Amino acid sequence: MNLPLIEKFPALRNQWLIACQTDKLRKMPVSQMVMGVPIVLFRDALGHPRALLDRCPHRSIPLSKGKIQKGHIECPYHGWQFDGRGICQHIPGLLKKDAILPYSVSSFPVLEQDGFIWVKLTQDQSGEPLLPYRLPLLNDRGYRFFVWEVEVKADLLNAVENFLDGTHTHFIHPGLIRSNHKRSLVNAIIRANKEGVEVEYTEERRQSGLIASLFERSRSKSYGRFKLPSTAQLEYCSKNGTTTLITVFLTPENGTRLKAYIVTAYQKTFLPGWLSHFLIKPFFYLALKQDLQILRMQSDNITLFQDEDFHSTELDLIRIPVRQLLSQNLHPDQVDKMVQLSL
Ligand code: FES
Ligand SMILES: [Fe+2]
């Protein structure tokens, strides 16, 4: 299968990507574009998730517009039915039953993990079957979780950079995350290997913005991480361990649009779950909206100028190693270094 995005980000080949949230996939089929490929998801007769190319081989109707009949997906136009392997099992009105088998649709490996349905667009022929990244803290009763699913107008590299970059926060989230007139010196240690890159921030005082003042008592250090193929993560720690962990799973839909599944875990307080969600979510959501807006602006201007020749300084810690990882070309001089910055 020809996947143009793989040429730009070869590290995405043969990787699990989220196609939807588990509880979105019930009785109706779900359509989702993954890496430029239209996919239809549905559950078979045993309730297992299945993923097929969203195109009926008869007259090219999206199968996702059809319905599920006894675990098979039925095309809405002439009623052809396909099983979870993509094999045509029924053509209404056709009397020669053995003639239907050759009409199949491509199917994709699919699995369910940590509340998401994951698909892989190519069959992994080699070695151990890799599983998707496991969400940390999921079974830890000391944390509460909430999940957001949003459309992002950006390419993968720009979205990852935005999420992990602290230097825009004074301007895009002024007062909410940091303030430009209240900076402090921070040490950043950057570590990279072929699976990802991690930036550890030490000597950092609590962030100057409202979110940290309201919800964070103290901070000993924090981390920004990128994990292949497309996961970005922020972790804030006090001396007693992780206080907040935000993990963003990104699924490129095409070259300029992503689906982001954002899982926020935060330490339980004495407040009931509904009340702490009610208090925390609006602040996080405002920050998210501000990021989505600047990413949209950036994407539109990249399209307008047809130019992604960017200029960076040593403050732009994350872009170069992430770009190198996505193109499977991590340079040794990106592996371990330390930078001091004023955040
Ligand atoms: S287009 Fe699907 S059955 Fe005819
Ligand atoms: Fe931001």
Cα-trace Rg, the chain: 22
Do 16-120 and 143-342 come out as alike in CATH topology?
Answer: no
pLDDT in tens, 195-212: 999 999 986 666 677 777
Which protein residues have their CB within 5 A of the ion that is ligand 2? 291
Give distance in angstroms: CA of 287 to centre of ligand 2.
6
State yes or no: pLDDT of 122 exceeds 80. no
Q: What's the CA gap between 2 and 249, in Å, rounded? A: 23
Q: pLDDT band at 174, cuts 50/70/90?
A: confident
Domain topology for 143-342? Naphthalene 1,2-dioxygenase Alpha Subunit; Chain A, domain 1 (3.90.380)
Q: pLDDT band at 232, cuts 50/70/90?
A: very high
> What pLDDT score does 18 carry?
98
Please indicate whether residue 335, judged by its CB atom, sits closer than 6 Å to ligand 1. no
pTM for the whole structure? 0.92
Q: pLDDT exceeding 70 applies to what percent of the chain?
A: 93
Please indicate whether residue 77, judged by its CB atom, sits closer than 6 Å to ligand 1. yes
- Average pLDDT for 294-316: 92
Return the residue whose CA atom lies nearest to atom 1 of ligand 1: 59
Ligand 1 atom nearest to 59, measured from its CA: 1
Beta strands 49-53 and 107-108, pairing class: antiparallel
- Average pLDDT for 166-195: 87
Ligand 1 atom nearest to 60, measured from its CA: 1
CATH entry, 16-120, from 2.102.10.10, 2.40.30.130, 3.20.20.140, 1.10.3720.10: 2.102.10.10
pLDDT in tens, 40-70: 999 999 999 999 999 999 999 999 999 999 9
Nearest residue to 31 via CA among 221, 259, 224: 259
- Average pLDDT for 12-16: 89
What are the extents of the domains in the chain? 16-120, 143-342
